[in-house]
A and B are shown apart, each in its own frame.
Chain A
Amino acid sequence: MCLAIPGKIIEISSDKNHAMVDYGDGTKRQANISLVKVKKGDYVLVHAGFAIEILDEDEAKKTLELFKEMLSMEEN
């Protein structure tokens, strides 16, 4: 139920409350974007037809680096 799928905003509709989201597997579907401040090109998590948060790509990379760092720190 709390499953949320990441997708990319490819077009914001004229009512400004919806956007076309590309899920990268050939699926494109409209989502409500009234709960997030997004722009075209942003990656969002979509749950039950609503974008609930923007995904931070930099943070994703940082997290992975941090994991590696944490693990190697333990060695010392």
Chain B
Amino acid sequence: MFSLKDKKLAEEIVSKIKKEQVSLKFMHVCGTHQDTLVKHGLDSLLKSCGIEIGQGPGCPVCVTTPKEIEEMLVLAKKGKIVTSFGDMMKVPGENDSLRNMKAEGCDVRTVYGIEDSVKIAEENPKKEVVFMAVGFETTAPSTAAVIKSNPPDNFSILCCHRTMPYALKAVLEMGEIKINGLIEPGHVSTIIGTNPYEFLSKDYKMPQVVAGFEPIDVLMACWMLVKQIKENKAKVENEYKRAVHAEGNKIAQKILDEVFEPCDIKWRGFPVIKKSGLKLRNKYQKYDARIKFKEDLLVLKEKEFKEPSGCLCGEVLRGLVTPSGCPLFANKCTPDTPVGPCMVSAEGSCNIEYRYANKR
């Protein structure tokens, strides 16, 4: 169950880590890292070296709140063409999911990216088309680029974009679990670079490594963290230099700043996290579905939004519980009958654990 492109190098890294005889807990915040860890059996291998490694709030679909899901369902019920990435379709709301709404005759469509959604708006000029804009800094520039390109007036977005650095700060501030090092998400970092993580090393003495997604990348990132800890250092290192520069993608950053401003936003499993969301600047408000369809969304105004009964997605996202530690895992909650979003999304740690469980 251990496959690698350069097995010898991997074995060398593992033997180095083993020699250090550590007992450490690392957190990463990316579903693709989790996939690499579980698919290649690296999580159990690292555990045997004294390193526990788990996924924090690093799955955009998973951290989307029940309120945002209900907003989308209301818009679908009100006759808009609702578009989103495939992973959003099965996330259960209180009584329904977008997939169910589709079965009931609502016009709900899966798209590969926001440009597909604009195309649908162009092809249906008499209908309103709403794109559920989820995703971290990796995805938000595509939304910004499209909004700036003057899409048709019957197109709008339900903005659910979130940004990573202040969410990481929230995890550290909450202090519910002791984390000895952070593996930072490679593709978020292609956009923001490595500089926005610096304050976490400075203020919280947190060792950090930005990592790529091959098994060797993740193992090397762990080794780099172990080395920092052994040398009593806390800095941001970049293991993924083939794609990530310290200053990030400046074109993407510029367009993000032109179109969005930071906002406070709630994450599933977390309270409101300051400056961890993005909202459209006033200039682009005509594309904001929450403003455009304010009347339709009034039904949600007084509503209380609850997590699904028994679901521990919040605890999983805060790194307190592993997927198999949830009583619903693999019995009541499966990818076909998901209770919470971590079982729906291919980036969710419950879904990943379920998919590879039999192959371990």
Interface residues of A (CB under 8 A from B): 1-4, 32, 34-37, 45, 47-50, 52-53, 55-57, 59-60, 62-64, 67-68, 71, 74
Contact = CB atoms under 8 A, between A and B. Distances in A.
A59 B241 contact: yes
Interface string B98-130: 000000000000001111100000000000000
B12 interface: yes
B249 A1 contact: no
B242 A59 contact: yes
Interface string B1-31: 0000010010011001000000000000011
Given A52-B191, A67-B220, A4 B138 contact: yes
B268 interface: no
Contact of A45 (B134, B243, B255): B243
A2 B32 contact: yes
Nearest to A53: B190
Contact of B113 (A35, A49, A71): A49
A6 to B, nearest CB: 9
A3 B252 CA distance: 17
Given A48-B85, A71-B12, A63 B241 contact: yes
Interface of B: 6, 9, 12-13, 16, 30-32, 58-61, 85, 87, 112-116, 134-136, 138-139, 141-142, 145, 185, 187-188, 190-191, 216, 220, 239, 241-244, 249, 251-252, 255, 345, 347
A25 to B, nearest CB: 16
A35 B253 CA distance: 9
A59 B136 CA distance: 25
Given A3-B32, A45-B187, A52-B249, A32 B139 contact: no
Given A1-B87, A2-B135, A2-B136, A49 B112 contact: yes
Given A32-B142, A35-B145, A56-B242, A4 B187 contact: yes
B115 A1 contact: no
Contacts of A48: 85, 112-114, 135, 138-139, 142
Contact of A32 (B115, B135, B187): B115
Contacts of B16: 71, 74
